[in-house]
Amino acid sequence: MKKMIHGKIRNRIAIFLSIVMFMVAVITVSFTSASKNTKTKPPVTKDSVASVKAFMTVYKVLTNTRCMNCHPAGDSPLQGDDSHIHKMNVKRGIDGKGLYALRCSNCHQAQNTPGLHMPPGNPHWQLPPANMKMVFQGRTPRQLALQLLDPKQNGGRTTAQLIDHMANDPLVGWAWHPGDGRTPPPISRAQMAAQVRLWIAKGAFAPDAQAK
């Protein structure tokens, strides 16, 4: 009889201990995974000053001639370091690839044609399409920031897609290999992409209306 009672108590202790061990294990695992999470994804620290500062660098790139010439306010692309209106009355067209006998690819090849005043090239050469003009020319920093963040005006892009466009899109990349006689943007593409990421990570703030 005594033995049986002892046996039962021992069993209960064993069960109790295993439950305790299990819980400790679960808690430990959840703590370690929680700490891993904080390592890969730091909590977003919004910082309007740092965010705006990063955007102002991006703004300088987007409004430099290489980017702006294909994001014009009118329906003609711009040309050259002085951003004059494209000769030959070239127009955007519905799909952004020109009109009739003046389609972009009629002259612009898959790569730059060597020589001064020769057509630059890229397989994706085009303007933004007529229903999504994504104008950079003449936009203030604030206007451009808000436009870039608005999927209705940015080609339906999320902020992740916006970063990807700036960092990886092959036509955007042409700006840094513009061929003879054309000045590339003021900073490298990697530097620009880093500033875009910073702008968004810090809260994607738009500069105030006075910023220039």
Partner 1 sequence: MTTIKVNGKDYHIDADPDMPLLWVIRDIVGLTGTKYGCGAAQCGACTVHLDGEAARSCVTKLGSVAGRPIVTIEALSANNNHPLQLAWQELNVPQCGYCQSGQLMSAAVLLRENPNPTDQDIDDAMAGNICRCGTYTRIRAAIHKAAQLQREGVKS
Binding part of the chain for partner 1, among 29-37, 42-50, 81-89, 136-144 by CB under 8 A, reads 81-89
Q: How far is CA 21 from CA 25, 31, 74, 194, in A?
A: 6, 15, 71, 46
- Out of 91, 133, 157, 197, point to the residue binding partner 1 (CB under 8 A): 91
- Closer residue to partner 1, CB minimum distance, 34 or 85: 85
34 lines the binding site for partner 1 (CB under 8 A) = no
Q: Closest distance between partner 1 and the C-beta of residue 44, in Å?
A: 47
| Pick 111 or 183: Cβ nearer partner 1 | 111
Q: What angle do CA 155, 124, 84 make, to 5 degrees?
A: 85
DSSP track, 98-157: EETTEEHHHH--SSPPSSTTPPP--TT--PPPTT-----TT--HHHHHHHHH-TTTTTS-
153 binds partner 1 (CB under 8 A): no
Shortest distance in whole angstroms from residue 87 CB to partner 1: 8
- Which residues are registered as beta bridge partners of 155? none
Binding of partner 1 by 101 (CB under 8 A): yes
Interaction between residue 119 and partner 1 (CB under 8 A): yes
